[in-house]
């Protein structure tokens, strides 16, 4: 249940972002489920509240603000644009039953194609400034570096696409990487299926959503994948080393540049990381002590595809992050009907501030 203190703090935070030039926006609490399911797949049903409207079809209680804000902006927002909002979001907490399933979220979103690294720094610093004086630890990462590494692998387009699709699901990503590199053998059931001259000859009646043609096409895709040579050991080792990077920003840059010497697809993404650090330093952030984790954000930030960050209560590791954010360029392309614009944003949870002595 949202407390009065949390609501007052939410409005105060929104006012800070509004004073920084952000326009206040409102978003419907009931959102079309089709859009969110298309973005996240059926996985989101485990984390969102779904209901059925007799006239509008399947709907979801708003799980966050970013998607509706992007839709609103792509429908005709000016450039550059800054938005802020405050309101409830709703998340099922089956894995963490002690956590609130309804809570306030205050956000700041920036759409600007001029200088993405400067925009990253502006959003990070806007949230950091709004939380000034609180005992918080900052964590940063960059999903774009891992995506660049995967996109540059010397394997089939289908395998690269599968790995990219599961970057935000570390366990599934690792299973695929092990299989594509030959570390894990092909399952016996699949081996037997592909060994059949005509796997559809003795097929059971079709009772699922796929028809015979779709099933046959899938079998051919599996055969093509089985004929692919394994991903080179050196490339797998590069991915493993990349994911192990957890250092302060200057050391992380040096480490990643060293990796990029042997793996050129990394270089442009690492250069963006370095420019972002320069932009953060120009705004007064001490990047020499700012933590960077290459694997950060892979389990909770599904639409982010570049810079990611979070602020955590130093003395309360039991609490969720006080604030999170990141870059989501690809999301604007998916929701923009052919148009796209670089975008970055972040959100704060006012209810957690009271837990760490952050009431107004």
Give per-10-residue mean pLDDT for the chain (360 aa): 81 96 93 78 73 84 90 88 95 72 93 96 97 94 97 94 92 94 76 58 56 62 70 96 97 97 96 98 97 89 88 89 94 86 95 74
Query: CB count, 10 Å around CB of 244?
Result: 12
Which residue bears the tokens 């907490």?
93
**Whole-prediction pTM value?**
0.87
Six-digit token string for 244: 């192990």
Q: In terms of DSSP bridges, do strands 291-293 and 136-142 run parallel, antiparallel, or are they unpaired?
A: parallel
pLDDT for the residue numbered 266: 96
What's the gap between Cα 83 and its chain centre?
20
What confidence tens digit (pLDDT) does each residue in 269-307 have?
999 999 999 999 999 999 999 999 999 988 765 789 999
pLDDT for the residue numbered 37: 75
Six-digit token string for 28: 């419907």
Cα separation, 319 vs 98, in Å, equals 10
Q: Which residues lie closer than 8 Å to 256 by C-beta, 6 or more apart? A: 145, 242, 245, 266, 270, 273, 294
pLDDT for the residue numbered 125: 98
pLDDT for the residue numbered 222: 63
pLDDT for the residue numbered 303: 82
Sign, Cα dihedral of 13, 15, 21, 24: positive
Query: CB count, 10 Å around CB of 229?
Result: 10
Cα separation, 167 vs 235, in Å, equals 16
pLDDT for the residue numbered 11: 94
Six-digit token string for 341: 């614009």
Q: In terms of DSSP bridges, do strands 291-293 and 102-111 run parallel, antiparallel, or are they unpaired?
A: unpaired
Six-digit token string for 290: 């700012």
pLDDT for the residue numbered 109: 97
């Amino acid at each position: 249940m949202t407390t009065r203190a949390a609501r007052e703090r939410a409005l105060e935070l929104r006012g800070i972002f509004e004073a920084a030039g952000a326009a206040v926006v409102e978003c419907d609490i009931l959102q079309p489920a089709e859009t969110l399911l298309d973005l996240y797949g059926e996985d989101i049903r485990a984390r969102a509240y779904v209901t059925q409207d007799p006239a509008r079809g399947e709907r979801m209680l708003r799980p966050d603000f970013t998607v509706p804000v992007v839709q609103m902006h792509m429908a005709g927002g000016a450039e550059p644009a800054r938005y802020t909002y405050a309101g409830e979001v709703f998340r099922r907490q089956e894995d963490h039953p002690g956590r609130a399933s309804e809570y306030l979220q205050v956000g700041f979103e920036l759409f600007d194609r001029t200088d993405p690294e400067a925009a990253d720094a502006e959003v990070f610093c806007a949230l950091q400034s709004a939380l000034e004086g609180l005992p918080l630890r900052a964590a940063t990462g960059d999903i774009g570096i891992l995506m660049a590494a995967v996109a540059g692998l010397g394997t089939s387009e289908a395998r690269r696409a599968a790995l990219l699709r599961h970057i935000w699901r570390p366990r599934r990503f690792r299973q695929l990487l092990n299989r594509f590199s030959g570390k894990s053998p092909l399952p016996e059931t699949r081996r037997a299926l592909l060994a059949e001259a005509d796997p559809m000859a003795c097929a059971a009646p079709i009772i699922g959503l796929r028809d015979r043609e779709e099933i046959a096409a899938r079998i051919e895709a599996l055969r093509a994948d089985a004929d692919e040579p394994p991903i080179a050991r050196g490339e797998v080792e590069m991915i493993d080393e990349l994911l192990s990077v957890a250092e302060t920003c200057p050391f992380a840059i040096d480490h990643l540049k060293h990796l990029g010497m042997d793996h050129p697809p990394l270089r442009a993404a690492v250069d963006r990381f370095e420019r972002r650090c320069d932009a953060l330093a120009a705004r007064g952030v001490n990047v020499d002590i700012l933590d960077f984790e290459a694997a950060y954000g892979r389990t909770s930030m599904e639409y982010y595809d570049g810079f990611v960050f979070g602020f955590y209560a130093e003395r309360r590791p039991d609490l969720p992050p006080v604030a999170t954010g990141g870059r989501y360029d690809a999301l604007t392309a998916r929701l923009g009907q052919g148009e796209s614009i670089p975008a970055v944003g972040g959100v704060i949870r006012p209810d957690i501030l009271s837990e760490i002595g952050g009431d107004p």
